[in-house]
Amino acid sequence: MVNTAPSNTALALHQSVLNWVAPTGWTAQSDGTLLGTPDAAAVARAQAAHLPVWPSLENDPRDPASTSALLNAQPAVSKLIDSVIQATTGSGFAGVNLDFEGMSANDKTAFTTFVQALATALHQHGAQLTVDVVPHGLGGVNRYSAAYDVPAIGTAADLVDVMAYDQHGEGGGTPGPVAGLNWDVEQLAATLVGLRPSHTLLGIPLYARSWDNGTGESLTYPEAIAKLREAGARVEYDFGGQTPFIVSGGGSTMTFFDDADSLARKIALAHQGHLAGIAAWRLGFEDPAFWSLFG
């Protein structure tokens, strides 16, 4: 979750059906400095409800050189791990969610070594580690996933979150589902090789994506529905991806989103694969009916 009013409202309303929460706020610098803090109000609310907090430790995915400098400098790695341990134990956090993205394939070994060292340090202090990974896909390793040694990460971490979304990203190209069900099946099949299903989470998107003349932008579910109503359009359906979409602007704008029904199919996929559960990104962007899926 992020420090926004919608995220905090979703946490306040639905904390009883969550197993843990991963607020953003920590960013790793190239010299090993740990910048930022998770939102204090969100942390306090979660901990008051006895909901485990696993802050998200992030890099800058737009600056792979900075991440590479960090991962390949042992003093910087040690400094970062020491800072994470101090912040985790000092704040009563149950664990850490590691979200490093946009890394170079050349840093695969260095990243794996970092994951192993961070996991060991956290375990020594009674805390746990979740690692977010980009799925490889049936086509094999791609430029987004090349830095992840998934089996090794799965051995070191307590949970691995397979971020099965951005099938069609913001960078342009052909509009389509954020994460079609058929695509999710392929991503899981490829990425689960070498992973323990019971220690794996299926990452699902709660956000929408709209393309206007080939340029994409992320929207919340309520924003997507508002666009639908403003345009007087009707909901159409992508049968392969089993996700709804709308066409507006005389055909120049396409908006794909996940509603409660399409999200229920993704949750069913996690159940069928005997996974540990799902990880949703991000709180506050969802169809309100999503929460009814949990009773």
In tens, the pLDDT along 176-185 reads 999 999 999 9
Q: Which sign, positive or negative, has the C-alpha torsion 66, 69, 75, 80?
A: positive
Q: Domain for residue 77, yes or no?
A: yes
Residue 192: its pLDDT value, please? 92
Percent of the chain with pLDDT over 70: 99
Q: For 26-74, what is the HEC assignment? A: EEECCCCCEECCCCHHHHHHHHHCCCCECCEEECCCCCHHHHHHHHCCH
In tens, the pLDDT along 76-86 reads 999 999 999 99
Give the span between the Cα atoms of 225 and 184, in whole angstroms: 24
Q: Domain for residue 242, yes or no?
A: no
Q: What angle do CA 38, 15, 261 make, to 5 degrees?
A: 110
| Contacts within 8 Å (CB) and 24+ apart, 212-220 | 212/249, 212/252, 212/253, 213/252, 213/253, 214/172, 214/173, 214/175, 215/170, 215/172, 216/168, 216/169, 216/170, 216/171, 216/172, 216/175, 217/170, 218/170, 219/255, 219/257, 220/6, 220/284, 220/285, 220/286
Q: Into how many domains does the chain fold?
A: 1
Q: Domain for residue 94, yes or no?
A: yes
Q: Domain for residue 222, yes or no?
A: no
Give the span between the Cα atoms of 56 and 282, in whole angstroms: 12
Q: Domain for residue 115, yes or no?
A: yes
Residue 172: its pLDDT value, please? 63
Residue 158: its pLDDT value, please? 99
R_g over Cα of the chain? 19
Q: Which domain holds residue 116?
A: 5-207+259-294
| Amino acid sitting at position 139 | G
Give the span between the Cα atoms of 236 and 214, in whole angstroms: 19
Angstrom CA distances, 253 to 211, 256, 258, 286, stand at 5, 10, 17, 21
In tens, the pLDDT along 157-211 reads 999 999 999 999 876 678 999 999 999 999 999 999 889 999 999 999 999 999 9
CATH of the domain at 178: 3.20.20.80
Average pLDDT over every residue of 46-51: 97
Average pLDDT over every residue of 43-54: 97
Helix or strand run (H / E) with residue 230: helix 221-231
Average pLDDT over every residue of 120-147: 95
Structure tokens at 204: 């699902």
Task: Calculate the average pLDDT of the chain.
Answer: 96
Q: Domain for residue 212, yes or no?
A: no
Give the span between the Cα atoms of 39 and 55, in whole angstroms: 10
Residue 102: its pLDDT value, please? 97
Q: Domain for residue 19, yes or no?
A: yes
Q: Domain for residue 9, yes or no?
A: yes
